[in-house]
Amino acid sequence: LQPGDAIIVNGTLGDHGLTIMAERAGLSLGSQLKSDVAPLWNLVAGALAAGDIHAMKDPTRGGFASAINEMARKSRVGVRIREELIPLKKSVRSASEMLGIDPLQVANEGKVVMGVPPGEADAVLSALRSHPLGADAAIIGTVTEGSRVVMATAAGGERFIETPLGDPVPRVC
């Protein structure tokens, strides 16, 4: 990652982990929750063809929070995320609130987090959105100087996005 890079995700976060947790907790949410397990190579190939990508990671164990913190730490930069830009399904938000879990710390199996130079971000975003697994892709933040991963909240405050201490979903595969 480099300061100024756009942080892009290819779709809604928390789908897989919340689906597993709700099932294990016996929450009957019908078909509102669905795992996002999917192979991403064709999606990623299209993004790579559209522009430069400085960094890329799958947000599996520890979810988005773990992935973005690892990317920032390894690149020695900070990241600023805007809460209102994070794609979350209403069902994921509701289930995470019921279970008391941060959806940013939940496993994803069909998602990717990318750091893209600002001049290439729109082209990469367009390429992602042209693929079925990227229909909900979004630019959710920016790489900054510093060393913290911060989220600007919808209420006008800020909070740190910390690396999870554990994983709420024990490994199932």
Q: Tens digits of per-residue pLDDT, 65-120? A: 999 999 999 999 999 999 999 999 998 888 888 888 899 999 999 999 999 999 99
Q: Residue written as tokens 């919340």?
A: 18
Residue 168 pLDDT > 70: no
SS3 content of the chain, % helix, strand, coil (to 5): 35, 15, 45
pTM: 0.92
How far is 62 from 56, CA to CA, in rounded Å?
A: 16
Give mean pLDDT, residues 24-44.
82
Give mean pLDDT, residues 42-49.
98
Mean of all residue pLDDT scores within the chain? 91
pLDDT confidence of 167, banded at 50, 70, 90? low
Task: Name the token pair of 10.
Answer: 């290819």
In degrees rounded to 5, what are phi and psi of residue 126?
Answer: -65, -40
